[in-house]
Structure 1
Amino acid sequence: MSVKKKFKGLSDKAVGWLFIGPTVILLLAINIYPLIYAIRMSFTNFYANKIGREPEFIGLKNYIKILNREAIWEKMQVTASFMFWTLLLQAIIGLGLALLLNRKFKGNELLTTLIVLPMMLSPAVVGVFWTYLYNPQVGLFNYAVNFFYDLGSFDMIGSSALAPWAIVIVDTWMWTPFTMLICLAGLRSVPNYLYEAAEVDRASKWQQFLYITLPSVLPFLLLALLFRGIENFKMFDMVVELTSGGPGSATELASINLKREAFEKWKTGYSSAFAVILFVTIFGFGNVYVKVMNKIKER
């Protein structure tokens, strides 16, 4: 029987589902099953290193314990601070670079390529790379600081006060190009006739930016920040390679603490509950953010 005869009488929508259905089912199985399993484990005192021991159902004890731990809230505060400063810097610098590259000048394409290079690297590789740059003896960052201020041996990632800023700088260096590209797409979607009409009305460059450019590019910027916020909340590999959560716990994000509980202390049930809390947090944050973004679009 030919393929044509097999699909004869089926609607285009049904044929489409025949092609994408198996893929959708596979993706749901890969994503939904681990989530359901983690939720199930979160209500137990299961330890992954104690094979043969049946997990005991303990109800909400893991959740209560986590939410009442002061150390957990400290990790969440570190994570929130990291997210705030990286998103703020990436928004400002990314939009600024997009405005620059939206202009036509010689070498525009080459400059764009050079700027986006960091985001093509692996976060773990970036972490190792910047560890050498931050080295207090031979690191280029130390030389750059001492060029302006004679501070001697300047250990950026060895200071509890400066280490959080060290990871903010690295994440901003790596992911600002992503925000820039999204904003650049928004800028290039603005019709030229709007600027022409503004010039006829003798609007200044600042007024054109405030009333035409910014409202047009804002939805794109907010979308980029949504993606970066979700990723930064889960940030792990780059920070581990750079500071390992130190010095002390100055840069121990929630994801790093989760890894310690799950794979160093083997508290599988406890860490599963922690993972569910993080999932609900970022899911709720994402929903609220999307609703706010939609309201901004409607204005």
Structure 2
Amino acid sequence: MTDTAMDKLAQRTPPRVARKVRGLSDRAIAWLFVGPTIFLLLAINIFPLIWTIYLSFTNYRANRLNREVEWVGLRNYERILTDSDIWLNMQATAHFLFWTLFFQVLIGFALAYLINKKFRGNDLWTTIIVLPMMLSPAVVGNFWTFLYQPQIGLFNYIVAFFIGADPSSFEMIGSVTLAPWAIVIVDTWMWTPFIMLICLAGLRSIPEYIYEAAEIDRASKWRQFWTLTVPMVLPFLMLAVLFRGIENFKMFDLVVQLTGGGPGSITELASINLKREAFEKWRTGYSSAYAVILFVTVFGLASIYVKALNKVKER
């Protein structure tokens, strides 16, 4: 903005407002702009967290507002940590987390490495690969539900053929053994492009002169890959794993869309069990304690992971 424009703007400012603004320090003006944002963060994030922690020590039920709330102390936490069903849910969550991250990292990095090599139709293939990530989980869940149907599901027929089952009676998402893998396949199909894009950004941030220097030193392509490419892309890859790990720990909609996440199911993740306790059984105090435990688990693991990520960046 030019000085003339600034002068015109100053002349249009009411004298009373102008005097108040001149009397404010730079720090006061900064707080004037930052204050509303901090207030919204406190209202939307901090207060609900504090309220949830408080409710976790009570027997509060959201569907019984007239009932007297009793302080139960650590009883909710004790019941959760000694419940064998909840530990099974945590095992199912850990299984889902590990295999989705494993396949997404493996396939995502491979796709990024291939796309980074300039070839004809590079941009077109990149757009096609990224399409699943742009879809809603509800749309993806419905789409793959049709693929898993025993009557018309193409993917179901393929799996049934390989394991020697009758395609007309075989249902992958109804199989105790294969249902968790059905969810892993769908999540991998949907979110591998996310890992690919972050890895691609890491690959394209590597200066060309490093590879030129390695070729002058007669380093083979294989050695360049392990000593240059992988170490320099590793921070980007670890960051992608952090994002996807946190999101998959909270996975809910896609699993429910595919399997219903019924009680006692092998696909009942911790987030689905939490939803059932809170909004079907209305055990608000109990589910608040459950949410606090999950929050502490995710926060603790993420903190340890971030420290490892920072060490990798410092190398």
**Is the aligned partner of 1:232 residue 2:232?**
no
Using a 3 Å threshold, how does the CA distance of structure 1 residues 105 and 17 change in structure 2: closer, same or farther?
Answer: farther
Task: Give the gaps of 5 or more residues in structure 2.
Answer: 1-13
**Is the aligned partner of 1:31 residue 2:45?**
yes
Distance 1:4 1:197 in 2: 61
Alignment-derived partner of residue 81 in structure 1: 95
Using a 3 Å threshold, how does the CA distance of structure 1 residues 74 and 175 change in structure 2: closer, same or farther?
Answer: same
Alignment-derived partner of residue 52 in structure 1: 66
Alignment-derived partner of residue 274 in structure 1: 290
Contact 1:261 1:267 in 2 (8 A): yes
**For 1:58-97, what aligned pairs fall within 5 Å after superposition?**
58-97=72-111
Distance 1:219 1:5 in 2: 51
Distance 1:231 1:276 in 2: 17
Aligned partner of 2:190 among 174, 178, 181: 174
Distance 1:235 1:173 in 2: 15
User: What SS does the corresponding residue of 1:217 show, helix, strand or coil?
Assistant: helix
Distance 1:96 1:195 in 2: 19
Using a 3 Å threshold, how does the CA distance of structure 1 residues 36 and 109 change in structure 2: closer, same or farther?
Answer: same
Deviations 1:185-210 (CA, angstroms, capped at 9, x unpaired): 00010000000001111111111111
Distance 1:45 1:13 in 2: 45
Distance 1:282 1:15 in 2: 37
Contact 1:160 1:248 in 2 (8 A): no
Deviations 1:77-130 (CA, angstroms, capped at 9, x unpaired): 100110000011111111001001111111111111111111111112211211
| TM-score after normalising by structure 2 | 0.90
User: What SS does the corresponding residue of 2:172 show, helix, strand or coil?
Assistant: coil
**For 1:1-299, what aligned pairs fall within 5 Å after superposition?**
1=14, 6-8=20-22, 14-145=28-159, 151-153=165-167, 154-246=170-262, 248-299=264-315
Using a 3 Å threshold, how does the CA distance of structure 1 residues 263 and 146 change in structure 2: closer, same or farther?
Answer: closer
**Which has more radius of gyration?**
2
Using a 3 Å threshold, how does the CA distance of structure 1 residues 17 and 184 change in structure 2: closer, same or farther?
Answer: farther
User: What SS does the corresponding residue of 1:157 show, helix, strand or coil?
Assistant: helix
Q: CA deviation at 1:151?
A: 3.0
Q: CA deviation at 1:66?
A: 0.3
Using a 3 Å threshold, how does the CA distance of structure 1 residues 6 and 263 change in structure 2: closer, same or farther?
Answer: same
Distance 1:14 1:253 in 2: 48
Distance 1:112 1:5 in 2: 56
User: What SS does the corresponding residue of 2:236 show, helix, strand or coil?
Assistant: helix
RMSD of aligned Cα (Å): 1.8
Task: Give the gaps of 5 or more residues in structure 1.
Answer: none
Q: Which amino acid aligns with 2:187?
A: D
Distance 1:5 1:199 in 2: 67
Contact 1:159 1:247 in 2 (8 A): no
Contact 1:130 1:242 in 2 (8 A): yes
Q: Which amino acid aligns with 2:93?
A: T
Question: Between the two proteins, what is the percent identity of the paired residues?
Answer: 70
How many residue pairs match? The answer is: 299
Distance 1:295 1:43 in 2: 38
| TM-score after normalising by structure 1 | 0.95
Q: Which amino acid aligns with 2:210?
A: L
